[in-house]
Structure 1
Amino acid sequence: MKLTQSQKKSAPAKSALTPTSRTTFALGLLAAATLCLMAAPASAQGYPDQPVKLVVPFPAGGTTDVLARALGQKLAEKIGQPVIIENKPGAGATIGAEYVARAKPDGYTLLMGAVHHTIATTFYRSLRYDFQKDFAPVTTVAMVPNVLVVNKKIGVKSFADLIELARREPGKLSFGSNGVGTGQHLIGERVQLMSKTKLLHVPYKGSGPLTTDLLGGQVDMSFDTITTVLPYINDNKLTALAVTTATRSAALPNVPTLDEAGLKGFDAGTWFGILAPQNTPEQTVTYLNNNLVQIIQSDVFKTEMSKIGAEVIGDSPEQMKARIADDTSRYAELVNSLNLKAN
């Protein structure tokens, strides 16, 4: 029977797919969906679905704490989960580090680490963790120069004045640090060695209590990071004599370096960075690195950090791992040459 023209228009069109090709097409869609899921970021697979804890191995108020809180707030906004700052001070930052090393490697417990941990590897005889083996580096946040500051009561206005006084009265002047085996401690020891002076080391649990005693005159000086003491330098409550890095700090452009002040070749600073427990899934580390680096290298964060004397970095896990290895080797040589060991 012949169809009329209108019947031809209304007749259903034949499918271009045969039963076999329909099956092939369906399998193709399934394969594509599977590949998309495999390529999805860690967050799409459930991370993070609860608050993230960022452990600070020092008391509140120091540079490590200030950086952690500034970064934690922005990370929380970016990942949609609270970032809780938990202070676990003591033993030159090793108590907090051990706590994170033993935590579940799921990305929910992180460490705000620092150069101090590379020193502790050699300084402490019986650490119950290995900083290079028991952590997964995420990214270095910032480098902060250290600065030699003195209480105004001792009446010195230059590094030369300080050295003259220290040589005249060996062992009388004291310097505080945020713990034995920390960067500040090692800087103080190296200054004594290079300047042929003898100072009394007074360790604290962190920069907060150290600064309180420095302002009160219980200790004469410190080699703390700029962030902690900058407000007191600006308010003329502490005198800055020299910064410890090879170049001057943008936050204190009129303060000379120790190299310029007479200790040729002196160059030391304090870096801070985020680490997770070893065996944290690689995709979780990558997810954290991507988000943190975006925050760290943003103009807003750079501006905030410059106001407190911090120079932002934001590198890859591999670059941070190399930094840790280099510093561990370098500080091992210094600790051993000074014969410094924890009891």
Structure 2
Amino acid sequence: MPVTPTRLSRRTLARAAAATLALAAAGGAWAQSWPNRPITLVVPFAAGGTTDVLARALGERLTAALGQPVIVESKPGAGATIGADYVSKAKPDGYTLLIGAVHHTIATSVYSKLPYDFQRDLAPVTMIAMVPNVLVVNAATPVKNLAELVSYIKAHPEHANFGSNGNGTAQHLIGMQFQQQTGTTLTHVAYKGSGPLASDLLGGQILMSFDTITPVLPHIKAGKLRPLAVTTATRSAALPDVPTLDQAGLKGFNIGTWFGVLAPAATPRDIVVRLNSEMVKIIRSPEFGQRMADIGAIPIGNSSEDMAGEIRSETDKFAKLVKDAHVTVN
């Protein structure tokens, strides 16, 4: 009997529906057996920075929750984009995850060409925490506040530089906005992470940085670095006596750094849901909250959908800031 277009359409739809159900069943079975081997958290910066500290704090507790080792692996370079590219191209099986950050929403506009699309190629799981950035100088530097720093920069252009965790990172953009609002000119020195950055700051090779509080807090407490202002709209509980840049005179200044977990885009939804559930329980626990307070971080632990919304919003916001600051990286 000839096959009519209507019958062909129904058969095609039936086959498609059967295939979809089969894939869903396979995905469900896959998710039920997951995890059965170690999971890797990729940190896109050198060891010793906030991203690394958060990854290890989360990974330790996630190991206990999932019953499999969670390994932290650093893949630094190119403003955190090397690590992001690596995870975006990894097998989407829930075993390779990225510790992403606000830097990745900035890089989308800063880099003229990236080998991945942050919103298309990576699936948000949850945000771990937000950490304020802080303007710090070596304690040997003869400046005690923002006004004195601006005067010092203008009087000593040969020493006028600042370090960041790489081109296109939040620290880089904060430095550019700082120059615009203060009418100063600074040389940007890009590092692969907070570890090497802090080393040169302590050694006097660079004048200042806008790093997150976590890696510089021990040096501040030891009296080796002097905090002048935090970059967020409100003061940090970790540095309650330090004013915000807005309070110090740079009106409207409000940039902080969030960190979160992302998986390759095609990771089965069941695995993403399981990861979110386990991570949110950890992040919202009193023990993890205390650990975050100790390093100057504010825990978040939101849904993957909320994280996706934040990424879209941040990408749009920083696109304008990047354009206004004329920041580009080839």
| TM-score, length of structure 2 as denominator length | 0.90
Specify the SS of the correspondent of 2:140: helix
Give, as a single letter, the amino acid of the residue that structure 2 aligns with 1:231.
Answer: P
Q: What displacement does 1:153 show?
A: 2.7
Distance of 2:254 and 2:289 partners within structure 1: 23
- Residue of structure 2 equivalent to 1:228: 215
Give, as a single letter, the amino acid of the residue that structure 1 aligns with 2:270.
Answer: Q
- Residue of structure 2 equivalent to 1:324: 311
Pairs within 5 Å for 1:37-186: 45-170=32-157, 172-186=159-173
Unaligned runs of 5+ in 1: 1-37
Give, as a single letter, the amino acid of the residue that structure 1 aligns with 2:45.
Answer: F
Matched, 1:289 2:276: yes
Give, as a single letter, the amino acid of the residue that structure 2 aligns with 1:133.
Answer: R
Specify the SS of the correspondent of 2:159: coil
Q: Identify if the C-alpha distance between structure 1 residues 42 and 205 changes in structure 2 by more than 3 Å, giving closer, same or farther.
A: farther
Q: Identify if the C-alpha distance between structure 1 residues 43 and 102 changes in structure 2 by more than 3 Å, giving closer, same or farther.
A: closer
Matched, 1:247 2:234: yes
Give, as a single letter, the amino acid of the residue that structure 2 aligns with 1:68.
Answer: A
Distance of 1:42 and 1:294 partners within structure 2: 24
Give, as a single letter, the amino acid of the residue that structure 2 aligns with 1:249.
Answer: S
Q: Identify if the C-alpha distance between structure 1 residues 119 and 103 changes in structure 2 by more than 3 Å, giving closer, same or farther.
A: same
Choose 1 or 2 for highest CA Rg. 1
Q: Identify if the C-alpha distance between structure 1 residues 246 and 41 changes in structure 2 by more than 3 Å, giving closer, same or farther.
A: farther
Distance of 2:56 and 2:186 partners within structure 1: 34
Unaligned runs of 5+ in 2: 1-24
Q: What is the CA deviation profile of residues 213-235 of structure 1, one whole-angstrom value per residue up to 9, with x for unaligned ones?
A: 00000001100000010000001
Give every structure 1 segment of 4 or more consecutive aligned residues whose post-TM-superposition deviation is greater than 6 Å.
Answer: 40-44
Q: What displacement does 1:44 show?
A: 6.8
The answer to whether the 8 Å contact 1:170/1:197 transfers is: no
Specify the SS of the correspondent of 1:272: strand
Specify the SS of the correspondent of 1:133: helix
Distance of 2:29 and 2:283 partners within structure 1: 20
The answer to whether the 8 Å contact 1:122/1:332 transfers is: yes
Q: What displacement does 1:169 show?
A: 3.3
Specify the SS of the correspondent of 1:191: helix
Distance of 1:205 and 1:45 partners within structure 2: 38
The answer to whether the 8 Å contact 2:31/2:270 transfers is: no
- Residue of structure 1 equivalent to 2:11: none
Q: What displacement does 1:340 show?
A: 1.1
Q: Identify if the C-alpha distance between structure 1 residues 42 and 173 changes in structure 2 by more than 3 Å, giving closer, same or farther.
A: farther
Distance of 1:206 and 1:158 partners within structure 2: 26
Give, as a single letter, the amino acid of the residue that structure 2 aligns with 1:187.
Answer: I
Q: What is the CA deviation profile of residues 72-94 of structure 1, one whole-angstrom value per residue up to 9, with x for unaligned ones?
A: 01000000000011100000000
Q: What is the CA deviation profile of residues 157-211 of structure 1, one whole-angstrom value per residue up to 9, with x for unaligned ones?
A: 1111101112233463111001011000000110000111111111111110000
Distance of 2:179 and 2:133 partners within structure 1: 16
Aligned length: 306
Q: Identify if the C-alpha distance between structure 1 residues 83 and 263 changes in structure 2 by more than 3 Å, giving closer, same or farther.
A: same
What percentage of residue pairs aligned between the two structures are identical? 61
- Residue of structure 2 equivalent to 1:211: 198
Q: What displacement does 1:104 show?
A: 0.7
- Residue of structure 1 equivalent to 2:177: 190
Q: What is the CA deviation profile of residues 92-141 of structure 1, one whole-angstrom value per residue up to 9, with x for unaligned ones?
A: 00000000000011111000000000011111111010001001100000
Q: What displacement does 1:154 show?
A: 2.2
Pairs within 5 Å for 1:275-314: 275-314=262-301
Q: Identify if the C-alpha distance between structure 1 residues 276 and 44 changes in structure 2 by more than 3 Å, giving closer, same or farther.
A: closer
The answer to whether the 8 Å contact 1:171/1:200 transfers is: no
Q: What displacement does 1:42 show?
A: 7.3
Q: What displacement does 1:339 show?
A: 1.4
Give, as a single letter, the amino acid of the residue that structure 2 aligns with 1:192.
Answer: Q
Distance of 2:298 and 2:97 partners within structure 1: 22
- Residue of structure 1 equivalent to 2:12: none
Distance of 1:44 and 1:169 partners within structure 2: 60
Give, as a single letter, the amino acid of the residue that structure 2 aligns with 1:271.
Answer: W
| TM-score, length of structure 1 as denominator length | 0.87
More deviation, 170-179/77-86: 170-179
